[in-house]
Structure 1
Amino acid sequence: MKQVRDSVRIFRNEQKFPVSIFQQYPNSPTAVNFSRALFHFSLASQILEGFKKDRIDDTEDCDALSPAFENIVQGFLSENSMFEPFRPPVITSALADQYLRLRPKDICAEYVKIIILMRTPCNPGKGGNKLLSDFESAKLRIKTLEKFASKLSQNLDTHPFKLQVLTNVYYFLGAIFVSTNQYERALDSFKKCYDLDNTDFSSLYGIAYLHIDSDPAKAIKLFLKYTSMAPKCDKQYPNAYYMIAYAYCMLGNLEEAFRYCSLAEDAEKIRLPFFSPVSVPQKDMMKTLKQTKLLKNPKSIE
């Protein structure tokens, strides 16, 4: 029991993510999402810490843990990056398994189990100490997410929350496909995500990104649509302008490329302080081009 209680960590480094950081920006939709995620993950931790058993025996135990699973999912949907400093007990995945035997249709418990799987390099079928290769890990994650997506796709109209989770699953799949260089499958996943929710500007960014080399003109249009939909505080906002600048370079229009590079630099100046600096190859390339241009003709870029 002590091991279960000690493994509960609301945040590994509370100094890094005090709620006051996000509350300083009440008019920022992005900061509000971070604050909401922090609230849900903190509440989930309190519930899990209060559960003093190491297994689920009956529906009463399910009732006690159901809010924890729901809050983990709500936190993940609000801002998935906030899951990293959140540390649920090691036993949480096993509890979700036991919970699902009694309530097999519970979406939140099943997604919690998947989220935890996505965040661990261990092979659950080999004692937890066998590290998966990158290929095996990606293959397992893709297979698990696709199976869950297929399940969620049934009777979407009867369960609105399913739609929200399914959209998130497709986005997650798209990100994994990008990281494993499966760009056609990534594009398909981001399109499915956007088709389910055409207000999802993050998936639109993904679609635009996947067109930047094959069709830079189309990528520009999609990135501009993203900038018209996303709040300026979104973490990808400066990146989008750097991508547009890069696309214009590919089209041979350096004047527009430098203009959008300047817009990207302006967007970085108002970037929320809890975000790390923008670090994309397109930014470095554009800065190098600007410096070269200035050296040749100091008055060429204003």
Structure 2
Amino acid sequence: MEAYLKDFEYIMENNLQRTHDSHRMYFNNSRGPAIFEYSMFTDFPDSPTAKRYEKAFELFCVAEKVLMQCTITKVETIEDCICLQPAFHGYAKANLCEGHLFDTFKPTKKTADLIDQYLKLRPNDILTEYFKTTIINNEQPSDYKSQSGYSSGKHLKKLIKMNEQFALKVSKKKSQSEIQRDILIDKYFLLGSLYSITDQEVRALDSFQKSYDLDNSNLDSLYGVAFYHFFRNSDKAESLLKKYLQLAPECDRRYYDAYYTLGLIHLKRENIKQATEYFNKGVTAEQKQLPCLPAWDTFSRMSARLYIPH
């Protein structure tokens, strides 16, 4: 058991990065970020996950088209802002719907400059500022990478500071609109992920909890809270994971992972039979994933394969 725990900690350290680093999820070193096509989702009309991606895909398409049609090279007047706003807001709303598609519709490098000029004229445009932070969060130049391929520590600190400041700015708004709430849900979840990568477990759990408190139906946030309780309070983690499995469709990106995590909880309790049952459920659940979103080696999946008898 002692050797198991040591290996467990090593796997946790290495795989938490891949689990929560948005630059690593579904990332192939030889081909770069995953690029998606519309048919990958429309071919599965009964899948709630596919429907969400399909909606986001359509929003991104419209925003991209508007941005391409806008020939402005420098934002100097309010009229220029009026021309660009539908594109900027469209990208922001699409990313709030499903940010995983951002790289498929990644705007040109000049877009960031246009946003900076735009915000000088409209400094209180929260959606456009959110879009700006999204572009920065998704940057992947080589100098932001460590030798392991993960985002470098220096870059991660920059991202954390930027997102903390923006979340604070949005949270201080006197009147909270639905879009501002959605932005905070997204930002708190992202901060939870960034804290995870930088080994700030208390802050990670706190941020995931803040995101979940704003929307108890948010599956990503619920899973984030449950996952971090795995290391602190296994009973609470088990309860939250079961709640997640009740709420989530079988095709959800973390569905199989919830079973593997439950298996690990029972493995820690030395309840081998129950651990194996959950492992087998995880294997079965992998088959419910969309073909374009296959199961991948999260911390729980890799640990379960190594240590749960099957």
Could you state the TM-score of these two structures normalised by the residue count of structure 1? 0.85
What is the distance in 1 between the residues matched to 2:199 and 2:48?
A: 31
SS across alignment from 2:105? coil
2:50 is matched with which residue? Answer: 31
Equivalent-residue separation in structure 2 for 1:284 and 1:197 (angstroms): 30
- Inter-partner Cα distance in structure 1 for 2:144 and 2:222: 34
Is 1:46 the equivalent of 2:60? Answer: no
Q: 1:97-112 alignment to 2 at 5 Å?
A: 97-112=116-131
Q: Is the 8 A contact 1:41 1:71 kept in 2?
A: yes
SS in 2 for 1:210: helix
Q: Secondary structure at the match of 2:107?
A: coil
Pick from 201, 222, 239: which aligns with 1:183?
201
Aligned partner of residue 184 in structure 2, secondary structure: helix
* C-alpha deviation, 1:157, in angstroms: 4.1
1:201 is displaced (CA, Å) by 1.6
Q: Distance in 2 between matches of 1:276 and 1:233?
A: 10
Q: Deviations over 1:200-251 (max 9, x none)?
A: 1211100111121222222111111111111111110000100100111011
Q: Secondary structure at the match of 1:192?
A: helix
Match of 2:113 in 1: 94
1:75-133 per-residue CA deviation (whole Å, 9 max, x = no partner) reads 111111111222201111111111111111111110111111112256xxxxxx97587
Root mean square deviation of aligned Cα: 2.2
Return the letter of the residue paired with 1:17: F
Deviating above 6 A after TM superposition, structure 1's stretches of 4 or more consecutive aligned residues are: none
Matched, 1:172 2:176: no
Of 199, 215, 218, the match for 1:200: 218
CA contact (8 A) 2:286 2:294 kept: no
Give the stretch that moved more between structures: 35-44 or 241-250.
35-44
Are residue 115 (structure 1) and residue 134 (structure 2) matched?
A: yes
Q: Residue 262 of structure 1: CA displacement?
A: 1.3
Of residues 221, 231, 239, the one that matches 1:221 is 239
Q: Which has the higher contact order (CA 8 A, sep 6+)?
A: 2
- What fraction of aligned residue pairs are identical, expressed as a percent? 34
* 1:30 shift after superposition: 0.8
Q: Is 1:239 the counterpart of 2:257 in the alignment?
A: yes
Q: Report the Cα offset of residue 47 of structure 1.
A: 1.3
State how many pairs are aligned. Answer: 274
Change (3 A) 1:131 1:174: closer
- CA deviation vs aligned residue, 1:156-214 (integer Å, no higher than 9, x gap): 64422100111101001001111111111100100110111111121110011112122
Match of 1:3 in 2: none
Q: How does 1:64-143 map to 2 (within 5 A)?
A: 64-120=83-139, 134-143=152-161
Distance 1:44 1:223, change over 3 A: same
**Residues 1:261 and 2:279 aligned together:** yes
Per-residue CA deviations over 1:25-70 (Å, capped at 9, x if unaligned) read 2222211111112112221211111121211121111111111111
Asked if the contact 2:36/2:101 (under 8 Å) is kept, the reply is no
Matching of residue 149 in structure 1 with residue 167 in structure 2:
yes
- Aligned equivalents of 2:184 and 2:35: distance in 1? 31
Q: How does 1:260-299 map to 2 (within 5 A)?
A: 260-289=278-307, 293=309
Compare 279-288 and 28-37 and name the one that shifted more.
279-288
- Tell me how far apart the structure 2 counterparts of residues 191 and 150 of structure 1 sit (CA, whole Å): 16
State the AA in 1 paired with 2:216.
N
| Contact preservation (8 Å) 1:156, 1:162 | no
Q: Secondary structure at the match of 1:84?
A: helix
Larger radius of gyration: 1
Contact 2:35 2:101 in 1 (8 A): no
Distance 1:16 1:118 in 2: 17
**Amino acid of the residue matched to residue 218 of structure 1?**
K
TM-score normalised by L of structure 2: 0.82
> 8 Å contact 1:258–1:286 — kept in the other structure?
no
